[in-house]
Structure 1
Amino acid sequence: MGRTFTNEARRAQIMRAAIDTIAEVGYAKASFARITEKAGLSGPRMISYHFADKDELIHEILMHVLTAGAVFINERVEAEDTATGKVRAYLEANLQFLREHPDDMAALTEIGPHLRTATGRSYTSVSAQEVSVQSLEKLLAQGQASGEFRDFDLRSMAVLIRGAVDGAARRLRDEADFDFDAYTAEVVTTFTLAVAR
């Protein structure tokens, strides 16, 4: 049986409440009862109707946030004509998404240690970064092939760039007076100079 608009809206409402609850109290304390209260639902069975269990709900949250971030970033990267413009857009868009979605990022940080691969192994920060790192490697390789970028180790540079983004997420959450605008400007300047021929 396909999902209706009403079902999709209810699932989105539950996911939003779960994200906000996890960001507020942490993964371990984000019970269906707390999520129900945050969502303004009549009871936890409403969540069970839409999600088989907490694992399915968490997986859907992960996919929702990662997909939203990817769309937001890719639209801005693809709008640029030069490799330098694409690197700049990648950094600015990533950092803007972090700033505009602090609860989503906090929830992902809380969820991360509890995620398991299909084989039951824990995800690590390295495995979580891998898709982004590979995407960056391709972008950087295009800049080298066009002659716009200097010769450098693609993987090392991609890991450095990704690390700068992930470092900002931690600072944004844990350092109340962190100057995010200054950080964004410095990161963009640093990496556009680092890759330039």
Structure 2
Amino acid sequence: MSPKQRRGVETAERLLDAALQVYADAGEQGVTVGALTRASGVSLGSLYHHFGSVDGLMNALLLRWLERLLGELAAGVARSRTARGGVRALVQTYLTFVQEHPDASRLLHSSYADRVGMAHAKQLRDAQEARLSPLTEWVRRHVESGEIAPLDVPVVEALVMGPIVATVRRRLSGLDDVDLGQAARVLPDRIWRSLTP
């Protein structure tokens, strides 16, 4: 990589890091060109050069963290030998991710992410295909082996991820009535029951 390319990558990284910090500090409404350039120390021209717009920067930030979450989930199920162990790994990995990356998790579970997801669902799924494939393959393998009920992959995804995401959203909404430790203990078995043949 040339020095110029390295500087470009570093500038893009500074902008992405600053965008998450501004979002965490001021919410979606606070993510403005001025706030981003102040927080990153990067010029307006560089922001537009690398991302095209504030929305382009926020979409890139969302994809960055979605990719990281999906990568961790795929690694979690890859380490498990059974379907039940995979469910436990998904719950624990997801909840650990949320605890370790609360600002990114708030973005991933925000109304902004929902709007982007609804408007660009197929594009997002296509862009994350490499990260989703191991999870999809894990589901298919365990359905074929008979460990998981013969359900379509999207239904299995909903049964597994629905309770996890609902728990996380409640926690991230500011309500302190969700104990993630208790959720990590209870959810795997409850989810598993919904998947058994």
Same fold (TM over 0.5): yes
1:4 positional shift:
1.9
Which residue identity lines up with residue 18 of structure 2 in the other structure?
A: A
Gaps of 5+ in 1: none
Whether the 8 Å contact between 1:113 and 1:123 is mirrored in structure 2 is no
Same amino acid, percent of matched pairs: 19
Equivalent residue, structure 2, for 1:96: 96
> Partner of 1:28: helix, strand, or coil?
helix
Distance 1:190 1:89, change over 3 A: same
Query: Which ranges of structure 2 fall in alignment gaps of 5 or more residues?
Result: none
Any runs of at least 4 consecutive aligned residues in structure 1 with deviations exceeding 3 A, and if so which? 42-46, 127-141, 149-157
Q: CA deviation at 1:141?
A: 3.7
- The RMSD of aligned alpha carbons is 3.3
Aligned partner of residue 28 in structure 2, secondary structure: coil
Q: CA deviation at 1:164?
A: 1.1
Q: Aligned partner of 2:72: which letter? A: F
Q: Find the residue that maps to 1:115 and give its secondary structure.
A: helix
Q: For residue 156 of structure 1, what is the aligned residue in structure 2? A: 155
Q: Deviations over 1:115-168 (max 9, x none)?
A: 27xxxx7357xx979989997665334223223335566543431222112112
Taking structure 2 as the reference length, what is the TM-score of the superposition?
Answer: 0.78
Query: Among 111, 119, 122, which residue is 1:122 paired with?
Result: 119
**Is the helix fraction higher in 1 or 2?**
2
Q: Does the 8 Å contact 1:17/1:38 carry over to 2?
A: yes
Whether 2:80 is the aligned partner of 1:83: answer no
CA drift of 1:57 comes to 0.9
Structure 1 counterpart of 2:185, one-letter code: A
- Alpha-carbon distance change, 13 to 176 in structure 1, aligned in 2, over 3 angstroms: farther
CA contact (8 A) 1:136 1:158 kept: no
Kindly tell me the number of residue pairs found equivalent between the two proteins. Answer: 191
Report if aligned partners of 1:144, 1:150 keep a CA contact under 8 Å in 2.
yes
Pair 1:50 & 2:63 matched = no
SS of the equivalent of 1:4 reads: helix
Which runs of structure 2 are paired with 1:127-146 in the superposition (5 Å)? Answer: 138-146=137-145
